[in-house]
Every structure is written in C-alpha cells, then in structure tokens.
C-alpha cells in the first residue's frame, strides 16, 4: 500500500470513530476531502493534515497554526493541523462559524440577506400560439 493511501486509510479510520454533529454528512464531507486533497496525496494533506484546503482565518487558531503555502492558485496562508483529529474538529468549526470571507484576508465578510428579502423566481408564462 502506498504511503498516501496509508494516510487516506488513517483519515477514514479516524473519521469513522469521530462523533460529529451531522453524521448524515460524513460521506459527502469525506468525498470533498478526497477531491480537495487528491485522495490524500497533496503536499498540504501529507505535510499539514489539511485535507480540505482550508485557508487561514484567526478563528481557526484553536485548531491549527498559520503557514505560508503555495497552491495551484498562488501563495497564501493555510491551516496546518497537528493531527487528523484536529483537522476534523477544525473543519467542522470552520463550517459552523461566522460567515466566510470572500477573496483575500483583507476583504469584508459577506452580509447575509434576511429570509424576508428572498423571493422565489417565476418563469414567464408561455403565450399560446395564435393561428
């Protein structure tokens, strides 16, 4: 078994044993991590246990440390997790946290719209053909 596959197997084993708030999302989150990390073969996954490509935010300090990393979209700051367990906990904290910032770290958080301002879209009715 290749070393990267051993890491993926460890991720699977650890994640299976973790008590997560939304267990029905376990398969889809795992699929996301596999896609993001190239089945645990990316350097970010192998060297920093960051299977999700999570970029650094100050609110992640309880779970990770800040590292400079060059990904395919350029150099930026990413989360370095000490263990697979800290990645899992950090990932779920990231999902449960405040609104995600868009763009570089200097951008402002996206304002959420209130439910009352969201309206369904309607398709225009087809006009019957006249002969």
> What pLDDT, in 10s, does the model give residues 40-82?
999 999 999 999 999 999 999 999 999 999 998 999 999 999 9
- Residue 107 resides in a domain: no
Q: In this predicted structure, what is the pLDDT of residue 108?
A: 42
Distance separating alpha carbons of residues 20 and 18, to the nearest angstrom: 6
Token pair belonging to 53: 């490509």
Domain containing residue 61: 3-17+25-99
Sorted by sequence, the CB contacts under 8 Å of residue 16 that are 6+ apart come out as none
- Residue 121 resides in a domain: no
User: Which of 47, 51, 37, 41 has its CA nearest to residue 89?
Assistant: 51
Examine the pLDDT at 96 and tell me if it is beyond 70. yes
Neighbouring C-alpha atoms within 13 Å toward the C-beta of 77: 13
- Residue 84 resides in a domain: yes
Q: Report the range out of 10-14, 102-106, 119-123 with the highest average pLDDT.
A: 10-14
Token pair belonging to 92: 């779920």
Distance separating alpha carbons of residues 101 and 34, to the nearest angstrom: 24
Around Cβ 50, how many Cβ atoms within 10 Å?
27
What residues does 68 pair with on adjacent strands? 77
Low-confidence winner among 10-19, 30-39, 99-108, 122-131 (lowest mean pLDDT): 99-108
Q: How many domains does the chain have?
A: 1
- Confidence band of 91 (pLDDT split at 50, 70, 90): very high
Q: Report phi then psi at 122, rounded to 5.
A: -120, 140
- Confidence band of 114 (pLDDT split at 50, 70, 90): very low
């Amino acid at each position: 078994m290749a070393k990267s596959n051993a890491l993926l197997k460890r991720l699977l084993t650890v994640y299976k044993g973790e008590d997560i708030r939304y267990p029905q999302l376990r398969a889809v989150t795992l699929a996301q991590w596999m896609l993001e990390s190239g089945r645990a073969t990316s350097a970010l996954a192998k060297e920093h246990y960051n299977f999700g490509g999570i970029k650094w935010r100050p609110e992640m300090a309880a779970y990770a440390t800040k590292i400079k990393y060059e990904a395919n979209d350029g150099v930026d700051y990413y989360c370095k997790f000490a263990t697979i367990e800290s990645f899992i906990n950090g990932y779920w904290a990231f999902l449960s946290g405040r609104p995600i910032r868009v763009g570089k770290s200097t951008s402002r958080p996206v304002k959420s719209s209130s439910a009352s301002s969201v309206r369904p879209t309607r398709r225009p009715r087809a006009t019957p053909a006249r002969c």
